[in-house]
Copies of this chain bind each other. A is one copy, B any other.
Amino acid sequence: MTTAQERFAEQELPYNVFSKACPSRGTLEHVTGRWGALTLGALYEGSFRFNELRRRVDGVSEKMLSQTLHALERDGLVHREAQPTNPPRVDYELTPLGREVTERLMSLIQFVEGRMDDVLAARERYDSARAPR
């Protein structure tokens, strides 16, 4: 049994996200995509039902949340727990792998949030430098 990395190495392709053909690029996009990052971040706080998640991720539509959760579940980052009751109850939570990913994602998110004043100041400098009149 060889790993995916080893199979790529045989073709002399770099096995990393900078290579168009590497599957990690797709997974990274699920994780960092517009709704993927926010969904993982919300689930970092605990286990939630579908509509609870919708309220936590401000602005996400039913369609996109559903799509996002499916992609993350398929990648093994989110676990879906459906109870066959009526009305149905479904809970979503991070898998151990998903939690490790999200720890690193949250480090990034919180850093960006904390430095927004720097970013906003940079924008003003940039804009005023090229639209003086």
Contact = CB atoms under 8 A, between A and B. Distances in A.
B112 A101 contact: yes
A23 B126 contact: no
Contacts of A20: 58-59
A123 B58 contact: no
A61 interface: no
14 contacts: A16-B113, A17-B38, A18-B42, A18-B58, A20-B58, A28-B37, A75-B123, A76-B123, A76-B125, A76-B126, A101-B112, A104-B107, A104-B111, A105-B108
Interface string A11-38: 0000111111011100111011110011
A104 B4 CA distance: 25
Contact of A17 (B22, B31, B113, B118): B113
A54 B73 CA distance: 33
Given A18-B42, A101-B111, A113-B17, A118 B31 contact: no
Contacts of A3: 117
A10 interface: no
